[in-house]
């Protein structure tokens, strides 16, 4: 049970290992010599505040709280979003207004054409045939 509880614990376990290694390295040296702590290869034996600062830096980087350290894609997307927002706030240019007018006219013409076709379909067939006959007779004369 104690072994499984020890595996679940997280936190500053790596600090305990480093202090044990430091104590062992100082015990190996003779007492006559000046004892200087020696750093281990591949690991930094620093103060807990250094580890805390490093952890805080890494978390803020992951969250994107550091503005100059944002990934390039996020910076580009933000810039594009800001540009689009600025364009929406600006008044439309003359070209844009003219194009919008033309588009509205085309839509009106299409709607009129659709209404005209619907009206012709509502007219009984014999009346349409009669109108077509009149047109052909007039064109022949």
| Strongest mean pLDDT among 3-17, 26-40, 83-97 | 83-97
Six-digit token string for 6: 């020890």
Mean pLDDT, residues 1-9 taken together: 50
Neighbouring residues of 71: CB distance < 8 A, sequence distance ≥ 6: 64
Confidence class for position 44, pLDDT limits 50, 70, 90: low
User: What are the angstrom distances between the C-alpha of 19 and each of 3, 27, 34, 132?
Assistant: 22, 12, 19, 105
pLDDT digits (tens, 9 = 90+) for 71-125: 778 888 999 999 999 988 888 889 999 999 999 999 999 999 999 999 888 888 8
Mean pLDDT, residues 17-46 taken together: 56
CA distance 126 to 94: 51
Instruction: Please answer whether residues 45 and 22 qualify as being in contact, where contact means their C-beta atoms are separated by less than 8 angstroms.
Output: yes
**pLDDT at site 1:** 46
**What sign does the CA torsion over 60, 63, 65, 70 have?**
positive
Q: Does the pLDDT at position 17 exceed 50?
A: yes
Q: Nearest-CA neighbor of 21 among 1, 6, 37, 4?
A: 37
Residue carrying structure tokens 């007492």: 31
Q: Tell which phi-psi region holds residue 125, choosing left (phi > 0), alpha (psi between -120 and 50) or beta.
A: alpha
CA 64 to chain centre: 12
Sketch the domain layout of the chain as residue ranges.
95-140
């Amino acid at each position: 049970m104690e072994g499984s509880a020890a595996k679940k614990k997280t936190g500053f376990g790596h600090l305990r290992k480093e202090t044990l290694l430091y104590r062992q390295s100082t015990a190996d040296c003779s007492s006559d010599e000046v004892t200087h702590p020696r750093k281990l290869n591949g690991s930094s034996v620093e103060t807990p505040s250094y580890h805390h600062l490093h952890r805080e830096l890494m978390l803020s980087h992951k969250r994107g709280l550091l503005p100059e350290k944002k990934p390039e894609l996020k910076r580009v997307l933000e810039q594009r979003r800001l540009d689009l927002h600025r364009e929406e706030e600006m008044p439309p240019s003359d070209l844009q207004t003219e194009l919008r007018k033309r588009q509205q006219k085309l839509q009106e013409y299409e709607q009129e054409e659709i209404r005209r076709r619907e009206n012709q379909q509502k007219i009984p067939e014999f009346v349409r045939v009669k109108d077509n006959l009149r047109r052909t007779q007039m064109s022949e004369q």
